[in-house]
Each structure stands twice: as C-alpha cells, then as structure tokens.
Structure 1
Amino acid sequence: MSNSSAPRRHLPTSPFRAATPPPAKRFAAGDRVSHDQYGLGRAISVEGEGTTAVVVDFGSRQVRIVAPFTKLFLL
C-alpha cells in the first residue's frame, strides 16, 4: 500500500518534465491589473519586497489584496 501524502518521485529517465511551481507574481505601483471578482483596476501601492500585498484602485473602491494573488492578473 502506498502513502498518499508522500510527494511523487521524478525519475531522471522519464520523458515528462518534473512539475515546477509557477513563478511568484510581482506587481509595481501603476500596473494595470484584472481581478476575477472586482474587474479592471490600477495598482496604487505595493507592500513588502517580495510583493506581499497590493492596494488596487478599481474605480468605485480600493481593495488591499494579499499574496498569493490567485485571482489577480497583470495586464
């Protein structure tokens, strides 16, 4: 019986690539962004060196969005 919580092993001879995590999203003040719930907006400020949070102006409201930015996309 196999342990389902153990990570899958990648064999060096496998023709398939090992799964790599996607690169971290980085935003800068002034970037145009799109959010799945709030729509189009512009980043006003960025907190932290590794972009830990972004304040976005969506026109009708300003929202602080924290990492990970699963619903926020750079345009």
Structure 2
Amino acid sequence: MTSSYGPRRHLASSPFKPDPEPTIEQFELDDLVSHDAYGVGRVIGKEADAVTVDFRTRTVRITSPFHKMSRL
C-alpha cells in the first residue's frame, strides 16, 4: 500500500531523528556516468533539472533526481 499524502512530517516532540533530506547528485559536462538501464555514457548537455547523456547507441535526456545514474 502506498500513501498519496507524500512524505511523513517530523513532529518536534518525537524522540526519533527526522529522515535526512535526499541529496541529488550534480553532474558536469564530460562526466562519465553509469545508468542502470542504458549502461556507461558521457554527459554532453546540462540543464537546471536534467542532463543529456551520450550512451554511444543513443542519446538520452535524463531528468532529476537521478536515481538510476551514478558518476564513475
């Protein structure tokens, strides 16, 4: 079952620490990256919320957050 209310808010009186904010990795031009579905590629374009990656067989625009992609 999934909740459609979004992330749970942290109560100030809770004895538990709040969940850390997820960090969104930033990529620069010519970074070598690995993608779960497309394999290894190179960043050839950068926008505010997306990057364009050349995977040799295809060029793909991938939007943020980059869950399936990491820098090599």
- 2:10–2:18 Cα contact (<8 Å) kept: no
User: What is the aligned partner in structure 1 of residue 52 from structure 2?
Assistant: 55
Matches within 5 A, 1:35-74: 35-48=35-48, 52-74=49-71
* Gap runs ≥5 in structure 2: none
Question: Could you tell me the percent identity over the aligned residues?
Answer: 41
Q: CA separation in 2, counterparts of 1:54 and 1:25? A: 11
Q: TM-score, normalised to structure 1's length?
A: 0.73
CA RMSD of aligned residues (A): 1.9
Runs of 4+ in 1 over 4 A off after TM superposition: none
Aligned-residue offset at 1:17: 4.5
**Residues paired across the two proteins, number:** 66
Q: Which amino acid aligns with 1:29?
A: L
Q: TM-score, normalised to structure 2's length?
A: 0.75
Max Rg structure:
1
- 1:10–1:18 Cα contact (<8 Å) kept: no
* Gap runs ≥5 in structure 1: none
Aligned-residue offset at 1:65: 0.4
User: What is the aligned partner in structure 1 of residue 11 from structure 2?
Assistant: 9
